Structure 1
Amino acid sequence: MTKILNVRNLEKTFSSGSKKITVLHDISFDIEAGETFSIVGPSGSGKTTLLGLCAGLDQADSGSIDLCGTQLNSLTEDERAILRNKNIGFVFQDFQLLPTLTALENVAVPLELQGAKNASKVGKELLEKVGLGDRFHHYPSQLSGGEQQRVAVARAFSNTPSILFADEPTGNLDAETGEKVIDLLFNLNKESGTTLVIVTHDLELAQRTQRILRLKGGKIIENPIDTL
């Protein structure tokens, strides 16, 4: 199996006044291509910080991250942005849709930025797959929370990412709606063969992935284990 993400001895600290707070301490793990993987832990355990580092949204103080065969440490901010556009999909808790764009435009924009000529066609196909074939021209304010997150899921797959990071994807949804969104996420993931990394405090959701990494106080308290 090919490793798509290799994390070694990761450290991250933040300054708070005159104090330095270590958010992540000596984090090491691997994720195989095509694997489903979850990072769990209580609030403040460093889950979202770890996801941001793995996705190249921020830089660690020490340690190394190899993503899609590229060492993130050696890249400039612009080079990391290019890597993200080509290889990574994101689903966030707060949807992060552009309010002035329609559902279709929100999904198609990442493709258009890459110069794809079939952006609208792909966007329509993805929205149909997530059950929003009748919502192409609706703006986010005209959609429910569950519908907005479905648009976000469709957008995340628009650039056929090698790896998709989902940060508390059901955090702003009720239980029933959240379950439907997660079913869509896993179904699309299986169909596309994308590696899926989910940050969550929901153990029931985490147990749907092949392996779980548990964090507490910025440290791994249990090595990744099979859930099967």
Structure 2
Amino acid sequence: MAKILNIQQVAKSFKGGTKKIMVLNDITFEIESGDTFSIVGPSGSGKTTLLGLCAGLDRPDSGTIILCGEDISKLNEDERAGLRNQKVGFVFQDFQLLPTLTALENVAVPLELQGAKNAKSKAMELLDKVGLADRYDHYPSQLSGGEQQRVAVARAFSNNPDILFADEPTGNLDVTTGENVVELLFNLNKELGTTLVIVTHDLELAQKTQKILKLKGGTIVSQESGKQW
């Protein structure tokens, strides 16, 4: 199968006062198209930093990141943004919905920005897929945490992404609601063939993915197979 993400010897540091703090060092792994993949590790191990690099939100200090066939370390900010808009989806722990827009409008906005025709009808189809067609006219404040995250999932799939990055997608949800959101992500992965990359503290969730990458102190301590969904 084709590699959708290829990370080779990536390192990333940040300045902390006068010191340089190494956050990631010598990170190498690959993800095949259509796979489910999780990144786990304790707080401060570099998980979210790695996710940001993989998705082209930031650049590494050194190493190579090839995302959807593009060497993103060689792209400028506008080019990386263009690649993300066309081929990448995101789901965050804190939902990141626009509070002044309805569920339908939150999902439709990315479609409208891409110049899609019938953005509203496509957004309704996506809300229907996540079981929220009857809540389309509700604002985020009128929705439960689980419903907000399902809207966020619908929005993440609005550009029919090749790869979706989920950063602690169940972190703000109770167990049952979190399981429902996870089931939704995996079902959409199967139905649409979207590669799924999850950053999580939840080892039970990680075990549902095909591959598990464990980080500690900014380095890879293991890569293993999960049980799969």
TM-score (norm 1): 0.98
2:151 alignment partner in structure 1: 151
Equivalent-residue separation in structure 1 for 2:60 and 2:85 (angstroms)? 20
Cα deviation for residue 122 of structure 1 reads: 1.2
Superposed CA deviations along residues 150-185 of structure 1, whole A, max 9, x for unmatched, are: 000001111100000000000000111101111111
Cα deviation for residue 32 of structure 1 reads: 0.2
2:80 alignment partner in structure 1: 80
Secondary structure at the aligned position of 1:116 is classed as coil
Cα deviation for residue 110 of structure 1 reads: 0.8
For the pair 1:123 / 2:123, whether they are aligned, the reply is yes
Equivalent-residue separation in structure 2 for 1:35 and 1:80 (angstroms)? 22
Equivalent-residue separation in structure 2 for 1:112 and 1:218 (angstroms)? 38
What amino acid maps onto 1:203 in structure 2? L
Cα deviation for residue 75 of structure 1 reads: 0.6
Cα deviation for residue 215 of structure 1 reads: 0.2
What amino acid maps onto 1:227 in structure 2? G
How does 1:1-228 map onto structure 2 within 5 Å?
Answer: 1-222=1-222, 224-228=223-227
Equivalent-residue separation in structure 1 for 2:61 and 2:136 (angstroms)? 43
Equivalent-residue separation in structure 2 for 1:101 and 1:122 (angstroms)? 17
Cα deviation for residue 20 of structure 1 reads: 1.1
Superposed CA deviations along residues 164-211 of structure 1, whole A, max 9, x for unmatched, are: 000000000011110111111111111000000000010000000000
Cα deviation for residue 77 of structure 1 reads: 0.3
Cα deviation for residue 142 of structure 1 reads: 0.9
Task: Name structure 2 gaps, 5 residues minimum.
Answer: none
Cα deviation for residue 225 of structure 1 reads: 1.7
Equivalent-residue separation in structure 2 for 1:221 and 1:208 (angstroms)? 19
Equivalent-residue separation in structure 2 for 1:74 and 1:20 (angstroms)? 23
Cα deviation for residue 121 of structure 1 reads: 1.1
Superposed CA deviations along residues 87-121 of structure 1, whole A, max 9, x for unmatched, are: 00000000000111110011111111111002111
Cα deviation for residue 226 of structure 1 reads: 1.7
Superposed CA deviations along residues 17-46 of structure 1, whole A, max 9, x for unmatched, are: 111110000000000000000000001000
Paired residue total: 227
Equivalent-residue separation in structure 2 for 1:60 and 1:78 (angstroms)? 17
Equivalent-residue separation in structure 2 for 1:5 and 1:149 (angstroms)? 25
Equivalent-residue separation in structure 1 for 2:150 and 2:192 (angstroms)? 16
Q: Which moved more, 1:111-120 or 1:88-97?
A: 111-120
Equivalent-residue separation in structure 1 for 2:3 and 2:119 (angstroms)? 30
Equivalent-residue separation in structure 2 for 1:123 and 1:193 (angstroms)? 19
Secondary structure at the aligned position of 1:209 is classed as coil
Secondary structure at the aligned position of 1:79 is classed as helix
What amino acid maps onto 2:166 in structure 1? A
Task: Name structure 1 gaps, 5 residues minimum.
Answer: none
What amino acid maps onto 1:103 in structure 2? A
TM-score (norm 2): 0.98
